[in-house]
């Protein structure tokens, strides 16, 4: 069976005033493939958080650097890949906050990765600092453990 | 030009801050400045009306977290009012209702200062 992967790409300067453009881009594609409002909101927020991290940490607000955002749709899998060429990090070193303690201690910052992992079905990260760093986030159109009866390639929600 | 605006209305000792548009890493500093202005004026009984706020990210949430301890230390508070479902979901996801009182109506938030 022929496998169709559709891609949508955006290359944009890493500036915070471009975050809205980025959100609109991923939200538009997510709506086009059939995600409902709540799922679109989750996707745009997760991508915003990833891109904000790139701007503030990978690029340390160097506006000359670009961010690549690629959206790939493959059957029921909606993948967003955010790529930068800045200072990388090891995601294994990042400890996700326990929200109870976070709120009790009134901490500030550090919620971006927590949100990404909570909002998306899969998040992984590959880093070659100074060369290429990628955050890959996946949202499935159908729940992994629950499939629509008689779902066909034409009727599932990831149809672009 | 960013589509984010902050407006303020003082109701006796309470200051109501209205957020309009989207609150992200780009617009968060503007909200920060508004809260700092209130703190500088010793106006620490604050209600933030979220009815026109269309989006919030962790950068926006960070502004609340950055001020709440200081404001409560001065005997004040930041109460939230009229969030949209979309914005409330983000607060709820992070457990913010544990830390902040969230009201369906602005007036209820203002009245809470009179009774507390």
DSSP A42-111: HHHHHHHHHHHHIIIIISTT-TT-EEEEEEEEETTEEEEEEEE-S----GGGPPPPPHHHHHHTT--S--
Q: Is A96 on the interface with B (CB under 8 A)?
A: no
Structural contact between residues A82 and A52, judged by C-beta atoms closer than 8 angstroms: no
Domains: count for chain B: 1
Min distance A77 CA to chain B CA atoms (Å): 23
Its pTM stands at 0.89
Residues 6 or more apart whose Cβ sits within 8 Å of residue A36? none
Q: Kindly determine whether residue B58 and residue A111, on different chains, have CB atoms separated by under 8 Å.
A: yes
Q: Is A19 on the interface with B (CB under 8 A)?
A: yes
3-state SS class at A157: coil
pLDDT grade, residue A88 (50/70/90)?
Answer: confident
Q: Which residues of A touch B93 (CB under 8 A)?
A: 115, 118-119
Q: Which residue in A18, A108, A110, A114 has the most chain B C-beta atoms within 10 A of its own C-beta, making it the best mutation to test that interface?
A: A108
pLDDT grade, residue A156 (50/70/90)?
Answer: very low
Q: Kindly determine whether residue A100 and residue B95, on different chains, have CB atoms separated by under 8 Å.
A: yes
Both tokens assigned to A96: 């996700």
Both tokens assigned to B95: 């457990």
pLDDT of residue A75: 87
Q: Is B70 on the interface with A (CB under 8 A)?
A: no
pLDDT of residue A58: 81
Query: Biggest alpha carbon distance in chain B?
Result: 41
Half-sphere CA count of A142, side-chain side, radius 13 A: 18
Q: Is B61 on the interface with A (CB under 8 A)?
A: yes
Q: Is the pLDDT of residue B116 over 70?
A: no
Q: Is B21 on the interface with A (CB under 8 A)?
A: no
Q: Kindly determine whether residue A20 and residue B3, on different chains, have CB atoms separated by under 8 Å.
A: yes
Orientation of helix A37-53 relative to helix B58-73, angle to 10°: 80
Write the pLDDT tens digit of every residue in B57-73: 999 999 999 999 999 99
Q: Is B69 on the interface with A (CB under 8 A)?
A: yes
Element (H, E) at B87: helix B85-93
Q: Which CATH architecture has domain A5-140?
A: 2-Layer Sandwich (3.30)
Q: Is A48 on the interface with B (CB under 8 A)?
A: yes
pLDDT of residue A142: 60
CATH code at position B20: 3.30.750.24
In chain A, domain spans:
5-140
Arithmetic mean of pLDDT, B70-95: 96
3-state SS class at B64: helix
**Distance (Å, rounded) from C-alpha B61 to C-alpha A80?**
24
pLDDT of residue A109: 74
Residue B73: domain span:
4-115
Which residues, numbered 98 to 157 in chain A, qualify as contacts with chain B under a Cβ-Cβ cut-off of 8 Å? 99-100, 103, 106-109, 111-112, 114-115, 118-119
Structural contact between residues A156 and A75, judged by C-beta atoms closer than 8 angstroms: yes
**Distance (Å, rounded) from C-alpha B26 to C-alpha A20?**
9
**Distance (Å, rounded) from C-alpha B108 to C-alpha A41?**
28
What is the interface pTM, i.e. ipTM, of the complex?
0.94
Residues 6 or more apart whose Cβ sits within 8 Å of residue B41? none
3-state SS class at B57: coil
């Amino acid at each position: 069976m022929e496998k169709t992967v559709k891609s949508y790409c955006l290359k944009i300067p890493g500036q915070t005033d471009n975050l809205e453009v980025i959100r609109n881009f991923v939200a538009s594609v997510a709506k086009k493939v059939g995600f409902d409002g709540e799922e679109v909101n989750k996707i745009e927020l997760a991508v915003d958080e990833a891109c904000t991290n790139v701007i503030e940490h990978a690029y340390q607000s160097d506006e000359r650097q670009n961010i690549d955002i690629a959206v790939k749709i493959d059957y029921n899998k909606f993948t967003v890949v955010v790529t930068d060429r800045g200072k990388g990090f090891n995601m294994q070193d990042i400890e996700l906050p326990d929200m109870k303690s976070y709120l009790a201690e009134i901490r500030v910052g550090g919620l971006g990765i927590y949100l990404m992992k909570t909002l998306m079905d899969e998040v992984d990260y590959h880093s070659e600092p100074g060369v290429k760093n990628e955050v890959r986030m996946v949202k499935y159109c159908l729940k992994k453990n629950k499939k629509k009866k008689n779902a066909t390639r034409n009727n599932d929600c990831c149809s672009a | 030009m960013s589509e984010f605006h902050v407006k303020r209305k003082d109701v006796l000792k309470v200051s109501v801050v209205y957020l309009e548009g989207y609150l992200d890493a780009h617009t968060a500093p503007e909200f920060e400045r508004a809260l700092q202005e209130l703190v500088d004026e010793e106006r620490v009984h604050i209600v933030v009306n979220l009815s026109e706020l269309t989006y919030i990210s962790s950068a926006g949430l960070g502004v609340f977290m950055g001020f709440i301890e200081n404001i409560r230390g001065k005997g004040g508070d930041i109460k939230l009012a009229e969030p949209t479902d979309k914005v409330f979901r983000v607060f709820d996801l992070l457990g913010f209702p544990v830390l902040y009182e969230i009201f369906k109506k602005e007036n209820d938030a203002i009245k809470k200062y009179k009774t507390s």
